[in-house]
Structure 1
Amino acid sequence: MDNLENLQKELYTPSKPELPQVDPEKKVQEPPLAPPPLYEDTPPSPAIWRKVLLGAGVFLLLAVTVAVYVFFRGFYAFRKDRVELKLQGPTEITAGQTSVWKLAIVNKNETELKDGELIFQFPDFSKPIIASSESSQFKQGTLKQTVPLAELKPGGLFEREFRAVIYGGENFERKAQAVFKFKPSSGSIIFESSATVATNITSLPVALAMEAVSETVSGEKMEIKFNLKNESEAGFPNMRVRLEFPSGFRVEETSEKLYEFNNVWRVDEFLPQESKGLVIKGTVTGLEGENKVFRAFLEGLEGTNWKIYKEISGQVGLITPPLSLYLNTEPEGVTSARAGETLFYKFVWQNNLDAPLANLTLKIKLDSDNFDFSSVEIGSPSGQVKNINFNSSARTATLNRDNFAPFFGIQPLERSELTLRVKIKEKLSSAGGKLPVSATLDSTSKPEGLAVSQISASQSLTLEIKSGE
């Protein structure tokens, strides 16, 4: 074994060639080790800066684009103006009619709406018609109905109708308003949309009329009638008629009680097709040729104020009386007298019409116990007075066609007169008293076309009793 290994070593050991001999003096010298050379600092070239800035700009643009995309994508998903609230109703209506408003809400957003609340405000002084199932939505005294709307899907539609009876006067305007409050599904901000509809009242179906004579004479009693008629199928609450009387008119009797300053007729609840009437009697005084204007106002209560819904007026002209009467002392202008003195009174009358008047009666009243009734004498220039008895208990003397022939009739524009003589008592019943005298002349005839209700004339005169020695 050892012989084999020795043999292999002899066979595979190569001979080493001899290296050439180098002269140490001629040997190539290697350069000494030294640090690398230093390079000078130089700025980047403009081309490099352009590349850097371009890269930064591209990055910024991409960032802004992403941000804008994200923002507008959310904005597009919800926009307030994409929630449409539409309200439709009548532009004109008759008072007492039922108005219908149609409401629609459309969600045109890509997101759902939540926590919605619809508030419908009925017109002032209207009467809402609320279904029993919706009574919880309506709050009495506010004229508001609140409808909850939990959600409204994207592209969703909500519709609703509201009804109410409209009240008011002619040319009154009534407004209905709807307000929708909501939130987008992804937010907590409350948004609001609203719509309003105005309705004009063109007429009030309640007729108010007045009846009275067109002409009368000063001092005559007259009658005025006021008529109310509800011409609709609806009732009208809280109504009244306020009256305005002219100066010189005195209310003496009414068929219905009047309130406040004796000029308010309370109607209160006016039922469908109901009629009401008021008759007023009184006396009017004034100057000949004067027009007396009467007015009536139909009013409705709105809140705490009365509003005029309708008004009418009429006038009564004061004309020359058909029969005029004049009373004075003889001589004229006496204002006082003493005990025991004799007084003379003159009564003059005239027919002012262009037609005769028949059957006249004159009543003269001496309304004081200080007159000596036994001394009364009545005379006429024509001497046609006869058998006139003075009624001491009534203190009156009455002349008619039975004791005074001219009272059978008096011709157009005819004028006549009488005189009365009476003595004042020597012993007066009261010191410092008065001596009132009055006269009334009337006729039972009434020519056709005459505006006055009665042909009559009155006058009065009062003297003072003067104390004397």
Structure 2
Amino acid sequence: MAKLEDLERALYEKSQEAELKSRMKSRVVFPKFRHRSGPYWQEEKRRTPAEKKSSSVRRLFPFLIGGLGLFFIIGAAAFVFFYIGSKGQEAQIVIPARDSVSAGEIITVPVSFTNTSRGRLTQVELAFLLPSGSLVSQNDGWRLAPQRIIQKIEDLEPGAEKTVEFTGRLFGREGEEKKVEAILLYQPETLRARFSARAVKIITIQGVPVALSWGLPQTVSRGQEMEMTLDYTSHASLPFDHLSVRVEYPPGFTFVSSDPVPSVGDMLWEVGTLDPARDGRIVVRGKITGDEGELKSFRAGIGVFDPGTKEWTPYTEAAGDVRIAVRPLLVEILAEGARDAIVKPGDELRVVVRYKNNTETIIRNVFVKVLLEGDIVDFQTLSIQKGGAFDAATRMIIWNPSTTEDIGSLEPGKEGELGFSIRTRARPAVRTADDKNVTVHIGARIEAATPPEEFQGADLTSQDDVWLKVQSKIIFAGRAVFRSSPIPGEGTLPPQVGKKTVYSVILEVRNFTNDLGDAEIIIPIPPNVKWVNSFSPPEARMFFDAATGRARWSIGEIKAGVGVRTPALAAAFQLALTPAEADVGKAVGLTGAIRFSATDRFTGEKREETISALTTELTQDSLTNFNDWRVVK
């Protein structure tokens, strides 16, 4: 298959290089001046007429040589200009195709070319380039177009004209411009070099015969679960292959489920081949939050998704809006000042319930009820402000007009706050593998016992819900030992000046409710303590970096329930200490503060736990005593 690179190779063949070298030899050489001993008229007087004529010829000779060289230079420049600089002048090529086409429509693209020279053009080839993603006809079907289509052409006689047609299908979004390119390669019969002529045609996608439309509710309540539909239909005369539908959600939307289930994440559905006159529907369910009156925009597109490059190419797109309803009575929950606070085991959770009358009328006898759910909350620590009471049977906190004057009569636009606090259990209950990814649900409801006359028959009830994620409880512990060690120690206790004693450090991790990722432990080691490179279990990924003086235990993933339902994650390693005279009577440090870090997979938080530096004071080695801990001579 011929390529454009043939042109460069042909232009620099050995025969032409040899010709160029021979021309370079025809250069002007000027004679050297001779020193004259006397005035030039004295020398002229001694010359004969014949000598004068010969001298004139010698003086003209360099100019003759220079003129001849200049002639060759001009000739070479003319050759370069007419055969190289103006390449393609022997042939003309055009693409008289349509200016626009519908996406997926069959289009025939003619390519016409003419030999405009006086000689025959040989070794003719036509290269045709379609845009990426185009299809070409093959065996009564369609296949993805190659990078370039090469077709051999018979020799073109002077003045000969020929047209070749290519049939394909172009795809893209409405208004997108697609470039079609044709390149004619040829070799003039009288030359050994190959040349090319090029033509480009821009074809605009004037429409996409695939429709996409949203089915969205006009308004939804904040926190309400909503259902929306996305319909797609083909009006094309041919199938569209490898299609997918992609959805972009607004901030505040949480995906719950869909029918069918997504193919990638919660935003992409593979459609495959969409035949003519066929349609489909995707149903998406989710919850949405936001400010009352806020407009939420949903966008969707149907096109092609490349799983290798993750590139998304939409053919057509659709958008739809949903407005967060403005309710007559507003109620809103804030936990720790936010709607997505992370609950920490053992901490106090402070909750504020806001309310507001959004009408132009006084609303009397308002009730506010808050449902509190979650095994991790300790109801015995519940503290309620502003006259609220707790109903243990329903697990509800209730504020009514009899105990809370502020909500007995709400003037137009009046707003206020109620609140409570409650502590969470320090250790969440983990009994089975299902006791993971714990949440606390808080649901608030506001209603009027006696609605105003203008609102008779209307529902003044308003509801707000938040689900707070609980971070995993992590217990990280470490101890230095000598006799109570899984790895036998070396040396003597108490440690002696100038003698080596090898201690063991044991680290343990317990994880309660959430999976952890990217877990590791960093152990700083003082300069006077040596890393022995002995650890247990042997498969533990422990490393020591002498440049930083730090050891690292690379753990990775830690499942929920490790150390609670199953044995704790533990490892031991050894350190060697050779005390100095200055250490006598002291407990010497074996490590710096040891840090554990990981990512909580449920909450997304970066978690860190630290234990204090370990020393030769082996308080957790039951087989040692006070006399074994300090350095002696």
- Match 1:126 to one of 124, 134, 138: 134
Alpha-carbon shift at residue 250 of structure 1 (Å)? 1.6
Distance 1:159 1:454, change over 3 A: farther
1:151 counterpart SS class? coil
Query: Scaled by the length of structure 2, what TM-score is found?
Result: 0.41
1:395-428 deviation line (CA, Å, top 9, x unaligned): 789xxxxxxxxxxxxxxx9x9xxxxxxxxxxxxx
Name 2:54's counterpart in structure 1: none
Name 1:81's counterpart in structure 2: 89
- Match 1:265 to one of 269, 274, 277: 269
Between 1:144-153 and 1:94-103, the stretch displaced more is: 144-153
Name 2:295's counterpart in structure 1: 291
- Aligned pairs for 1:9-24 (under 5 A) are none
Alpha-carbon shift at residue 324 of structure 1 (Å)? 4.9
Distance 1:236 1:263, change over 3 A: same
In 2, Cα distance between equivalents of 1:197 and 1:453: 63
Give the letter for the 2:195 counterpart: F
| Contact 1:85–1:195 (8 Å) recurs in 2 | yes
Name 2:178's counterpart in structure 1: 174
| Contact 2:258–2:282 (8 Å) recurs in 1 | yes
Distance 1:455 1:271, change over 3 A: farther
- Aligned pairs for 1:188-337 (under 5 A) are 188-301=192-305, 304=309, 305-322=311-328, 324=330
In 1, Cα distance between equivalents of 2:122 and 2:466: 88
Identity of aligned residues (%): 23
Query: Scaled by the length of structure 1, what TM-score is found?
Result: 0.54
Which structure has the larger Rg? 1
Give the letter for the 2:281 counterpart: G
2:197 counterpart SS class? strand
Distance 1:297 1:114, change over 3 A: same
Name 1:98's counterpart in structure 2: 106
Alpha-carbon shift at residue 127 of structure 1 (Å)? 0.5
| Contact 1:115–1:150 (8 Å) recurs in 2 | yes
| Contact 1:327–1:461 (8 Å) recurs in 2 | no
2:246 counterpart SS class? strand
| Contact 2:95–2:109 (8 Å) recurs in 1 | yes
Give the letter for the 1:167 counterpart: F
Residue 115 of structure 1 pairs with residue 115 of structure 2? no
Alpha-carbon shift at residue 166 of structure 1 (Å)? 0.8
| Contact 1:321–1:457 (8 Å) recurs in 2 | no
Larger RCO: Structure 1 or Structure 2 (Cα < 8 Å, ≥ 6 residues apart)? 1
In 2, Cα distance between equivalents of 1:194 and 1:265: 41
| Contact 1:323–1:457 (8 Å) recurs in 2 | no
Between 1:178-187 and 1:197-206, the stretch displaced more is: 178-187
In 1, Cα distance between equivalents of 2:213 and 2:115: 54
| Contact 2:137–2:143 (8 Å) recurs in 1 | no
Alpha-carbon shift at residue 167 of structure 1 (Å)? 0.6
In 2, Cα distance between equivalents of 1:228 and 1:126: 22
Alpha-carbon shift at residue 168 of structure 1 (Å)? 0.8
1:87-109 deviation line (CA, Å, top 9, x unaligned): 21111111111121112222243
1:328-372 deviation line (CA, Å, top 9, x unaligned): 9xxxxxxxxxxxxxxxxxx999997799xxxxx999867689889
- Match 1:457 to one of 448, 452, 463: 463
In 1, Cα distance between equivalents of 2:426 and 2:119: 105
Between 1:144-153 and 1:159-168, the stretch displaced more is: 144-153
| Contact 2:127–2:149 (8 Å) recurs in 1 | yes
Distance 1:227 1:107, change over 3 A: same
In 2, Cα distance between equivalents of 1:348 and 1:183: 84
In 1, Cα distance between equivalents of 2:155 and 2:459: 76
In 1, Cα distance between equivalents of 2:169 and 2:219: 43
In 2, Cα distance between equivalents of 1:149 and 1:461: 72
Name 2:337's counterpart in structure 1: none
Alpha-carbon shift at residue 238 of structure 1 (Å)? 3.0
Distance 1:130 1:155, change over 3 A: farther
Give the letter for the 1:168 counterpart: G
2:89 counterpart SS class? helix
Give the letter for the 1:191 counterpart: F
The gaps in structure 1 that reach 5 residues or longer are: 1-40, 44-63, 329-346, 356-360, 373-389, 398-412, 416-429, 444-451, 463-469
Give the letter for the 1:246 counterpart: P
Alpha-carbon shift at residue 239 of structure 1 (Å)? 2.8
Give the letter for the 2:236 counterpart: S
Distance 1:189 1:348, change over 3 A: closer
Dislocated runs of 4+, deviation >4 Å? 138-141, 322-328, 347-355, 361-372, 394-397, 430-433, 435-443, 452-456, 458-462
In 1, Cα distance between equivalents of 2:143 and 2:122: 24
2:175 counterpart SS class? coil
| Contact 1:110–1:154 (8 Å) recurs in 2 | yes
| Contact 2:171–2:315 (8 Å) recurs in 1 | no
- Aligned pairs for 1:385-464 (under 5 A) are 457-458=463-464
Aligned length: 322
Backbone CA RMSD of aligned residues:
5.2
Distance 1:155 1:364, change over 3 A: closer
Give the letter for the 1:114 counterpart: T
